[in-house]
Structure 1
Amino acid sequence: MNKIAECSVIIKDDFNNIFLVMKKTKKNEPKLWYNVGRKIKGKESEEKCVARAIKDDLKSIVFNVERLGEVINISNEVCAVFKGELKEKIVLGKDIVEGKWVSISDIDKFNLAPDEKEKLDLFLNI
């Protein structure tokens, strides 16, 4: 079993739309869309990592968290992928520029960061 280096959560609503975020970047870097996620700190559990990512980026609490699987990211690290739902209003954290609910049919219109498509494929194939 590989050691999990990071966790990512696909946030969905009752209509199976997903929430994507755009992180702050430097002027010359591309503006890419991501799922909410974080690197695991120390001996932190995967579930605590997901909760911390949601709290830091969206100032909210995630419910109905379910592990979907794992993907290998471009840094060759293992990323655990979860899905979850929010029950509170979203307030973007300091490192997030924009957040948007996206229907599954419109995902291809967004400039997704590397690895994000593989994570979304886990969600779409359940």
Structure 2
Amino acid sequence: MNIIGCVLILKDDFNNILVLKKKVKRGQKEIWSLLNSPLKGKKDCEKTLSKAANKSLKTVLFELKEFKEFSINEEEAVKVYTGVLRERYVLEKSYDDANWINKNNLEKYEFGELDNRILNEYFK
């Protein structure tokens, strides 16, 4: 299966997960998501996600570990990793908001189909 992207589940010391909301144009639906990045060229997911966290959150990742692969269709999949944030983050301007959530308040947020599958599997 061809890996086309990487997704990062960012957690804190209390097993809460950081979810992000991108800025949208008027009339578009606001959807929360996990930090993700397309895989370009021959780069590996670890480097790609470290750069994405540095760019989007202006912070450093700790304890990056592979979690699971999730298929998008018959030929393509994304690799999911977990990582820990130990310092404050600063959102880049393309993001509107970020929240720490846990299993109990997962239903209050609207996610895309893939992020929903990933979070449900993670909180099992």
TM-score (normalizing by structure 2): 0.92
Shift, 1:63, TM fit: 0.5
1:103 maps onto 2:110 in alignment: no
8 Å contact kept, 1:64–1:84:
yes
CA distance in 2, matches of 1:89, 1:33: 20
What are the superposed Cα offsets for residues 31-88 of structure 1, whole Å, 9 maximum, x if unpaired? 00000011012111110111122112111111111111111237x6311001110122
8 Å contact kept, 1:32–1:112:
yes
CA distance in 2, matches of 1:77, 1:93: 29
> What's the secondary structure of 1:115's corresponding residue?
helix
State the match for 1:17 in structure 2: 16
State the match for 1:89 in structure 2: 88
1:69 maps onto 2:68 in alignment: yes
Structure 1 runs, 4 residues or longer, greater than 6 Å off: none
CA distance in 2, matches of 1:81, 1:121: 13
CA distance in 2, matches of 1:41, 1:15: 33
> What's the secondary structure of 1:61's corresponding residue?
coil
Segments of 5+ residues of structure 2 without an aligned counterpart are none
8 Å contact kept, 2:18–2:100:
yes
> What's the secondary structure of 1:105's corresponding residue?
helix
1:31 maps onto 2:30 in alignment: yes
CA distance in 2, matches of 1:85, 1:105: 20
> What's the secondary structure of 1:48's corresponding residue?
helix
Segments of 5+ residues of structure 1 without an aligned counterpart are none
8 Å contact kept, 2:18–2:98:
yes
What are the superposed Cα offsets for residues 78-105 of structure 1, whole Å, 9 maximum, x if unpaired? 1100111012211001211100011221
1:59 maps onto 2:58 in alignment: yes
Identical positions, percent: 28
CA distance in 2, matches of 1:81, 1:41: 16
1:115 maps onto 2:108 in alignment: no
